[in-house]
Structure 1
Amino acid sequence: MTIPKLLQLAKSNAAASQPLRAETSGAEATVYLHGVIGGYWGDIDETEFVKALTALDVDTIHLRIDSPGGDVFGARAMMTAISQHKAKVIAHVDGLAASAATGICMACDEVEITQGAGFMIHNAWTIALGNKADMAKTVELLGKIDAGLAADYTARTGKDQEQITQWMDEETWFTADEAKEHGFADRVVEVVGKKKAKNQWDLSAYANTPAALLAKPNNAAPDDGDITAHRNALERRLSLLERTPA
């Protein structure tokens, strides 16, 4: 049976992501958001993030982002915590900010994206079960979520909401330069060296993923017991939903 796209995204990236991590040095802190967003779907639990962020008594917080997306409401809770924190919060898109991860960027004071990194916006996904009335309510809910996301992007970029909506409808992938050009990012950071960045995420669940990002992630089988246990636990949580017809 075909796994719905939302489940496919979470399941195929479970082994690639890492748990929430934060480091403090003087008046600055760095929080690593490298993983799928949402405690139910992935590795970055919004409640733990809010607790960790609230506990930081610093002037500047750097959010290092490499995420294929995740739970939109989990991201919204994280956005609220970011916007209400007294510190200056700078988002650094190290590799990928897709889907819900772009919303987190919108809540930050500044957004910096690495040359070669990706930025993707699209309409919200969900999984629904029920009769036609339930489906109608789900459609209404998705419309409201999309409107909220479009409002965030519009406020940040200054673009017409019609243009933002079109980009979301088309699942639009931006290069670093395009993200800056259209106002999603404030600056692009050049990375010069012999090493080339490699996409670590399985992005095949998305419809318009650039061909260069569709290469199979270069991830060795996890040999750390904690990572293996985490993946097994996630697959158990998803197994019931996988029985739902696509």
Structure 2
Amino acid sequence: MKAIKLLQLARDNASASMPLRAEADGTQATVYLHGVIGGWWGDIDETEFIKTLTGLNVDVIHLRIDSPGGDVFAARSMMTAINQHKAKVIAHVDGLAASAATGICMACNEVEITQGAGFMIHNAWTIALGNKADMRDAASLLEKIDAGLVNDYARRTGKTADEIVGWMDAETWFTADETVEHGFADRVVEVVGKRGSSNAWNLSAYKNAPTAQAPSQDDSILEHRNELERRFSLLERAPA
């Protein structure tokens, strides 16, 4: 019952406006994915994302990503829409791509990551209620989800499945350089003349999350991000 109450609390506290924004300029467009993935309890609604993406009649789409993750099935539907779009899609990891957000990166034609940004892969999580049979079913589903993610990462990176599984089992956090070194991204982008993005999410639910100082931000932006942090941390702590 506690898990249900925590989920309901997270949903009740959801912001009314989704942080999904698209800007088109000639033959190119930019879509911002800054928030938790999944319309049911997160901020980036997969249906709205797909509608936005399919409505862009451009040659190149830039996805600006700063996300601690979210619903893996919502991310999967977003990945499908990316794969099916006629445009070249370039992922830009502005601050953080963790968990389900890394899958979205894998669906893009190119991935670039800002120096100082982070990239994290781990095994799938869930909240399950019921008897021992239900728990076994939940574990079986998680294994299937993990297998799908392993295939995504392996296809992109050229690494062996065993190596990917080891990283996922350990909950591995990659620096920007490591993300490129291991094949998850194509290049590192240096931010010249201003401070680069640094994750300001509350990642305490993850066991190996690095400590990072957040850059100075406008108060309204910081307030919005803090709200997302509280909700994501609350949801991810529920399985424990």
TM-score (norm. length: structure 2): 0.85
Partner Cα distance (1:20, 1:152) in 2: 25
Which residue pairs with 1:21 in the alignment?
Answer: 21
What secondary structure sits across from 1:61 in the alignment? strand
Which residue pairs with 2:149 in the alignment?
Answer: 149
Q: Which string of whole-angstrom CA distances, capped at 9 and with x for unpartnered residues, describes residues 203-242 of structure 1? A: 111110012x3x589788759xxx6xxx69x97xxx9x99
Partner Cα distance (1:140, 1:30) in 2: 38
CA separation of 1:197/1:63 partners in 2, compared to 1, >3 Å: closer, same or farther?
A: closer
Alpha-carbon deviation of 1:198?
3.9
Structure 2 counterparts to residues 202-221 of structure 1, below 5 A: 202-211=202-211, 213=212
Contact kept? 2:118, 2:199, Cα under 8 Å: no
Partner Cα distance (1:90, 1:127) in 2: 33
> Taking every aligned residue pair, what percent have the same amino acid on both sides?
72
Q: Which string of whole-angstrom CA distances, capped at 9 and with x for unpartnered residues, describes residues 83-120 of structure 1? A: 00000000000000000000000000000100000000
Q: Which string of whole-angstrom CA distances, capped at 9 and with x for unpartnered residues, describes residues 171-213 of structure 1? A: 00000000000000001001122435442211111110012x3
What secondary structure sits across from 1:42 in the alignment? coil
Please, which runs of 5 or more residues in structure 2 have no aligned partner?
A: none
Alpha-carbon deviation of 1:3?
6.9
Please, which runs of 5 or more residues in structure 1 have no aligned partner?
A: none
CA separation of 1:197/1:89 partners in 2, compared to 1, >3 Å: closer, same or farther?
A: closer
- Say whether 1:189 aligns with 2:193: no
What secondary structure sits across from 2:32 in the alignment? strand
Count of paired positions: 230
Structure 2 counterparts to residues 58-137 of structure 1, below 5 A: 58-137=58-137
Alpha-carbon deviation of 1:147?
0.3
Contact kept? 1:202, 1:217, Cα under 8 Å: no
In structure 1, what residue type is equivalent to 2:129? L
Partner Cα distance (1:245, 1:36) in 2: 18
What secondary structure sits across from 1:145 in the alignment? helix
What secondary structure sits across from 2:104 in the alignment? helix
Partner Cα distance (2:64, 2:197) in 1: 15
